[in-house]
């Protein structure tokens, strides 16, 4: 970290900073410019960097503290420079393999899941998604079928062979979900539910971590670091749109975030255009854009009857629209050297 002193700071202020650095086990390096004195802290210990930066920022004469090192480690390219592949059951995500995870927003019935699973399998999806536990903004909306929904997903896997990705909202559901799911999803609203992140890290399944809709890329990577610190590197990141001032779409799919994160981490990154845009006719262009931008996979909501869906009908594709999308996805994927 670098400590920038105020123009009116005194020699004594500088000495106090240096003394405090020494107490903390840091070396230092002073650079006196014409307008500012700058103190470099050398040999930063691994832990508590952010806390220490906060403490130094309030010492007398300090203008600001500039962190230099990244606040994550286990998941960073500095730790492991090669892109990783994560297996969701038999489906490979990363390393040129596009994972296409499709299915309904909510599991509503055995029939609905089975019908959707068959259709997306037929169209070429590599995994099945569907929520048994649902985060809903209104307490009066359908809240999901719970463990009954997990059974329906398992039945659909049994028949189609598609591995299952499903969300866990609460640490108490984790064991039950991990028993059935091939990949445990942490939703955007729980990206900073730190207890859940830690425990998901040792639930025995790969974890898909959605970006919080108002989280910076750095916060997203730090949340992934929590999972990694919990015990696994089988993590798939998922960009699903951020909240901006624009209201014509539900969120704004931030594809450049995917490209930035790829430089920082070796973890595979997928995109969820369905939740990002919230309107079915915008899903296809954004899915193709995500593939062209280098996504390692897609999450796509598909429902046999969007006009009867208990959640997210407006953004769900029909099976026919999904099949047409898959055709285009294959072409764009090929154009950028990837395949489904």
Q: Name which of residues 216 to 275 contact its own copies (CB under 8 A).
A: 216-219, 222-223, 225-226, 229, 242-249, 252-260, 263
| Site for its own copies, residues 304 to 323, rule: CB under 8 A | 306-314
Question: Minimum Å distance from CB 200 to its own copies?
Answer: 13
Of the pair 11, 307, the CB lying nearest its own copies is at 307
- Please select the residue that binds its own copies; options are 95, 175, 214, 320, rule is CB under 8 A: 214
Sign for the CA dihedral angle at 207, 212, 218, 219 comes to negative
Q: How far apart are CA 154 and CA 160, in angstroms?
A: 10
Site for its own copies in 100-129 (CB under 8 A): none
Rounded to a whole number of angstroms, the minimum distance from the CB of residue 157 to its own copies is 26
Of 37-45, 114-122, 149-157, 176-184, which part binds its own copies (CB under 8 A)? 37-45
Residue 18 or 259 with smaller CB distance to its own copies: 259
| 8 Å CB contact between 314 and 117 | no
Q: Tokens in use for 121? A: 């399998």
Q: How crowded is residue 332: how many other Cβ atoms within 10 Å of its Cβ?
A: 16
Stretch that binds its own copies, among 116-124, 152-160, 178-186, 192-200 (CB under 8 A): 192-200
Nearer to its own copies among residue 11 and residue 337 (C-beta): 337
**CB of 153: closest distance to its own copies in angstroms?**
20
Residues 62-81 close enough to bind its own copies by CB under 8 A: 66, 68-69, 71-72, 78
CA-atom Rg of the chain in angstroms: 23
By beta-carbon proximity to its own copies, the closer residue of 2 and 155 is: 2
Asked whether position 7 contacts its own copies by CB under 8 A, the answer is: yes
Written as one string, the DSSP assignment of 19-76 is HHHHHTT-EEEEEE-SS-EEEEEES--SS-HHHHHHHHHTSTTEEEEE--S-S--TTB
Which of 22, 90, 96, 142: binder of its own copies (CB under 8 A)? 142
Q: How far is CA 261 from CA 237, 252, 299, in A?
A: 9, 17, 18
- With CB under 8 A as the contact rule, the residue among 189, 231, 323, 340 that binds its own copies is 189
49 Cβ contact list (under 8 Å, min separation 6): 1, 67, 69, 71
Q: Which stretch binds its own copies (CB under 8 A): 109-117, 118-126, 146-154, 284-292?
A: 284-292
Give the one residue of 110, 155, 293, 340 binding its own copies; rule: CB under 8 A: 293
Whether the CB-CB separation of 290 and 272 falls below 8 Å is answered with no
- Cα 99 to Cα 129, 212, 236: the distances in Å are 12, 21, 11
């Amino acid at each position: 970290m670098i400590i920038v002193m105020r123009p009116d700071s005194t020699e004594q202020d500088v000495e106090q900073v240096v003394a405090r650095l020494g107490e903390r086990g840091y070396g230092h390096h002073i650079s006196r410019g014409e307008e500012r004195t700058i103190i470099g802290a050398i040999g930063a210990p691994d832990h508590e960097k952010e806390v220490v930066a906060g403490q130094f920022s309030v010492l007398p004469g300090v203008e600001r503290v500039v962190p230099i090192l990244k606040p994550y480690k286990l998941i960073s390219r500095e730790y492991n420079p090669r892109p990783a592949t994560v297996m969701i059951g038999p489906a490979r995500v990363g390393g040129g393999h596009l994972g296409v995870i499709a299915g309904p927003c909510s599991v509503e019935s055995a029939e609905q899941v089975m019908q959707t699973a068959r259709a997306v399998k037929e169209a070429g999806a590599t995994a099945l998604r569907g929520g048994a536990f649902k985060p809903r903004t209104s307490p009066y909306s359908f809240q999901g079928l719970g463990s009954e929904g997990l059974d329906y997903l398992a039945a659909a896997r049994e028949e189609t062979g598609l591995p299952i990705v499903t969300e866990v909202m609460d640490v108490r559901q984790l064991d039950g979900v991990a028993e059935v799911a091939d990949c445990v999803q942490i939703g955007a609203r729980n990206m900073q539910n730190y207890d859940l992140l830690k425990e998901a890290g040792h639930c025995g399944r790969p974890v898909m971590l959605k970006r919080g809709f108002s989280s910076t890329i750095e916060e997203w990577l730090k949340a992934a670091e929590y999972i990694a610190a919990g015990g696994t590197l089988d993590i798939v990141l998922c960009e699903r749109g951020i909240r901006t001032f624009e209201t014509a779409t539900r969120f704004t799919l931030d594809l450049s975030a995917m490209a930035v994160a790829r430089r920082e981490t070796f973890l595979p990154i997928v995109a969820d255009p369905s939740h990002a845009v919230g309107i079915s006719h915008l899903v296809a262009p954004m899915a193709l854009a995500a593939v062209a931008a280098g996504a390692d996979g897609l999450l796509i909501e598909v429902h046999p009857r969007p006009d009867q869906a208990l959640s997210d009908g407006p953004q769900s594709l029909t099976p026919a629209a999904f099949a047409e999308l898959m055709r285009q996805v294959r072409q764009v994927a090929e154009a950028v050297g990837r395949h489904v």
